[in-house]
Amino acid sequence: NTDTRLVKQWYQRRVRGVLNYYTNYYYKSNLRMSLSCEQKKELREIAHAIVDGGKGILAADESTGTIGKRLANINVENTEDNRRAYRELLFTLPKESNIGDSIGGCILFEETLFQNASDGRPFVELLREQGIVPGIKVDKGVVILPGTDGETVTQGIDGLNERCAKYKKAGAQFAKWRAVIKIGEHIPSQLAIQENADTLARYATICQANGLVPIVEPEVLCDGTHTLQQCRDVTEKVLAATFKACFDHHVYLEGSLLKPNMVTAGMQCPEKSTPEQVGEATVVTLQRTVPSAVVGITFLSGGQSEEDATLNLNAINAYQDAGRKPWLLPSPTVVHCKLVY
């Protein structure tokens, strides 16, 4: 009838109006971006070099204090030379070990990025010879976010542009920034989610302007008694907010990587989840929130044991349904975290 036809016409006009708005906004946003075609090409190539073939990432970015604990376990003094020697053992594995077949990138601490091996060759050069892309941790740790119940936001934006330019000149090709989200009674708050999402997006934009591929790392901590469903709900909110912020800040997603937590129940939750449940919850959460333009996803172990992390990663790769997994994922034989040590 006439009323139905009028309602249909009104609805079609509304839909066309919304589509035109977002189409125009998208193209205008691209025009405002400062990245050239050459810069975008370089970022894409770096991102693919890190994760192509199911490769993982080696986290060798412990702070001076953290690596000191490792050295103390073997009664070695925490000096710069001993830290350098420890890294050299790792980076000078024989080429026949084919470590580059499994590890696509290595995250370094700032001190390590500028260090040389005993023969004078820079560590970044040793990594390249192994087929591993060198990267750098650029955040300055977390601080309490005022107005919240002990929630945090990551610091380090001040001076980041200058530091990224210096790191790129030294040979780094990608960067890592970690945001931390806690699950508890009445948390995470929307304020904490939004502040961390905006900070991650600003970091990513600054990195790309300096030729570094940003690894976006919004980590929902596994500490607590929360259930698998609670972790799934929070992770969806965090990832949705993160990529909305990335869109608003004009992050070039085709030159970026995501490093999220797996969706698991809290470590103190009495109801334990099977790897199959973790695999389904994680993949469905990513399908709902992560744009297909993102090149790859490298998972956090999040405090899991090596066995649990490997079983869960295998389940994530094995999970199949009508949805798609358009991003490159690490092989179950590669668990990204400090499990490599």
> How far apart are the C-alpha atoms of 339 and 298, rounded to whole Å?
14
Please, are residues 223 and 140 in contact by the beta-carbon 8 Å criterion? no
Q: What phi, psi does 51 have (nearest 5°)?
A: -115, -10
Q: Which of 303, 282, 164 is nearest to 231 (CA)?
A: 282
Q: Residue 166, Cα to own-chain centre: how many angstroms?
A: 21
- Peptide bond before residue 134 is cis, with ω within 30 degrees of 0: no
On whether the CB atoms of residues 227 and 275 are closer than 8 A, the answer is no
Active-site residue, selected from the candidate residues 166, 259, 272, 338: 259
Task: Map tokens 């693919």 to a residue.
Answer: 48
| Terminal-residue alpha carbon distance, the chain | 71
Report which residue type is found at 110. Answer: E
Is 8 labeled as catalytic in the residue annotation? no
Q: Which residue has the tokens 């405002």?
A: 32
Q: CA 44 to CA 57: how far, in whole Å?
A: 17
In angstroms, the CA 166 to CA 56 distance is: 25
Q: Which two tokens stand for residue 273?
A: 């989840």
The secondary element (H helix, E strand) that includes residue 239 is helix 228-248
Active site residues: 259
